[in-house]
Chains A and B, each alone.
Chain A
């Protein structure tokens, strides 16, 4: 089955700096890669996603890149703000069958003012 590795587990940056979180996946059949943000005491919320037929996707300060050959994808947050502080999860899903999402273990991002 699919296995998703996420690094780093914790990340601390200064306000205004960029933050990068990386994930690798094992199943080459996976074709959908979402990123979730989880604030304290809340459920995860989708912030951006990418499909395997696209190499990069951007939404304001957030971007995701995908390298299918290397089977890794990354979340980039530019001009970080204190409200970006949260736990971020990557996930991968294989098309067809049960279409289950497999999650990475999460990255706790702290943006220091």
Chain B
């Protein structure tokens, strides 16, 4: 079991560029989510999905898109990167109560 995997580990973008952060899990979990972590702000929910084909917004969804075509994958798309999106992004999946986090993607937008 690889658990929750995220790619890339690091990424630098220029303002206005788009990119996709990849997230995959091999535990057959229905619930997946994306968080961003900023200094002193804790973890804030961006988008989440309760199963394939179903997504919903979290606390800070603006500037991000998600889709869930399979149970395993939950990519996060930045449509037009802004410096305010500089952050560490964590993907997570959940079975019952326990939520498992990926190792994170550190994104810098110049």
The smallest beta-carbon distance between B23 and chain A, in angstroms, is 11
* B40, B50, B101, most chain A CB atoms within 10 A: B101
Which of B12-20, B41-49, B61-69 faces chain A?
B41-49
Q: Are B42 and A104 in contact (CB under 8 A)?
A: yes
Report the Cα distance A91→B40, complex, angstroms: 15
Q: Is the interface of B mostly helix, strand, loop or mixed?
A: strand
Shortest 8 CB-CB distances between A and B: which pairs?
A: A43-B101, A105-B42, A103-B43, A103-B42, A44-B101, A43-B103, A106-B42, A43-B90
Residues on B lying within 8 angstroms of A by beta carbon are 4, 31, 33, 35, 40-45, 48, 50, 56, 58, 90, 92, 97-104
Residue of B nearest to A49 (CB): B97
A44→B48 contact, CB < 8 A: no
Query: Which residues of chain B have C-beta atoms less than 8 A from A104's C-beta?
Result: 42
Please, how many angstroms separate the alpha-carbon atoms of A98 and B47 in the complex? 11
Closest chain B CB from A1 CB (angstroms): 8
In the complex, which residues of chain B have a beta carbon less than 8 angstroms from the beta carbon of A42? 103-104
Chain A: interface size category: 20 to 34
Q: Are A44 and B43 interface neighbours, CB within 8 A?
A: yes
Is B97 in contact with A43, judged by CB distance below 8 angstroms?
A: no
A42 to B33: give the CA distance in the assembly, Å: 17
Q: How far is the CB of A44 from chain B (nearest CB, A)?
A: 5
Which chain A residue has the least Cβ–Cβ distance from B92?
Answer: A43
With A34-B99, A98-B56, A101-B99 known as contacts, the answer to whether A44 contacts B90 (CB < 8 A) is yes
A100 is an interface residue with CB less than 8 A from chain B: yes
